[in-house]
Amino acid sequence: MRRTPRSVLGALFALGALLTAGTLAAPAGAAPRPAPAPVAVHAAADSAAAHQRISDFWTAERMREAAPLDLLSVTPADIAAGSAAVAGGGEETTVAPVGPSGAGIQAFPQGGGPWTGGGKVLATAGRVFFTYNGRTASCSGNAVTSANASTVLTAGHCVKLEGNWHTNWVFVPGYHDGQAPYGRWTAAKTLSTPQWSASEDINYDVGAAVVSPLDGKRLTEVVGGQGVAFNTGYTVDMYAFGFPAAAPYDGEKFIYCSGATFRDFLLSNDHGMTCDMTGGSSGGPWFTKFDEGSGTGLQSSVNSFKYNFLPDAMFGPYFGDDAENLYEQAQSA
């Protein structure tokens, strides 16, 4: 379907601390920055019965069959017109899924392919499942160090889209082959930046979830958590991870890309990276200062969108003050 965005960038999404780094200090004499707008918060499940129902809903079969939410293409004409073509993965879709139709990820010199390095990231990262517009859908996410030991970061469109919050939201860290080795963690609350909630501004396509305890333990007490960093600058080396589920992938493998990032030279203020991950990887973590040996880093973005005429480039939002405010609200919820 096609629509005119409510903001300049509107619906250009697609696809998906150790210690927390602080924001950069303002120069001496500079006017103080305005306080970020309130974070949008949704009560996802409010009783033990609701959490159990959601957990039971996500059988291995349903997880395998969940469609990647984020099948989006953007054409040069869309950019000129200031609009985007959006596909939710259903029969009404009128655009092709992002991603190459030819050779696989091994063609990319900046890294990419199944992650074989091991380490902490295998436990902290996982697939996100939810119901969107009556259909089961998937994204990716990552557990981060937080005061409540229960915070997951993902993309904004992986918690809310077209004005509606997703339902039956669950995080499955370490997912593989329909299995949930660390359990299915149901969301008590989902959150997004105010800019994403109000107008789906792609520059702020960041979401979070606060998940409920499982078997008496909190999320990062079981899987650990990655650090988070904000205002890290552009053109830095980063690693991106996710569970792409649109062709040529099937959502069953943990995929990564790595290399020097660049600032989006078209419409957004996002980071860009050479990467052929597809729908389903949205919300997967981008790390600065990532150590391959330990599988740890500082999460500094998430998989967000691709331009259809640049299928080998992934884009992720800059983690600035508003992303930090979202994180602070989530970890204190």
> Does residue 87 sit within a domain?
yes
> Does residue 31 sit within a domain?
no
> Does residue 59 sit within a domain?
yes
> Does residue 297 sit within a domain?
yes
Give the residue numbers spanning the domain of 157.
Answer: 2-16+40-332
Task: For the chain, report the end-to-end CA distance as a whole number of angstroms.
Answer: 36
Judge contact between 231 and 241, C-beta under 8 A. no
Judge contact between 212 and 169, C-beta under 8 A. no
**Which tokens belong to 34?**
């305005």
CATH code, 250: 2.40.10.120
**Residue 265 confidence (pLDDT):** 86
> Does residue 77 sit within a domain?
yes
Give me the number of domains the chain comprises. Answer: 1
> Does residue 262 sit within a domain?
yes
> Does residue 32 sit within a domain?
no
CB neighbour list of residue 230: distance below 8 Å, 6 or more residues apart: 20, 21, 22, 23, 300, 319, 320, 321, 323, 324, 327
Per-10-residue mean pLDDT of the chain, 333 residues long, equals 33 32 36 72 93 97 89 40 31 26 30 85 98 94 98 97 95 95 98 96 96 98 98 96 90 93 92 93 97 97 91 94 98 94
**Residue 71 confidence (pLDDT):** 42
Say what the pTM is: 0.81
Judge contact between 275 and 98, C-beta under 8 A. no
> Does residue 21 sit within a domain?
no
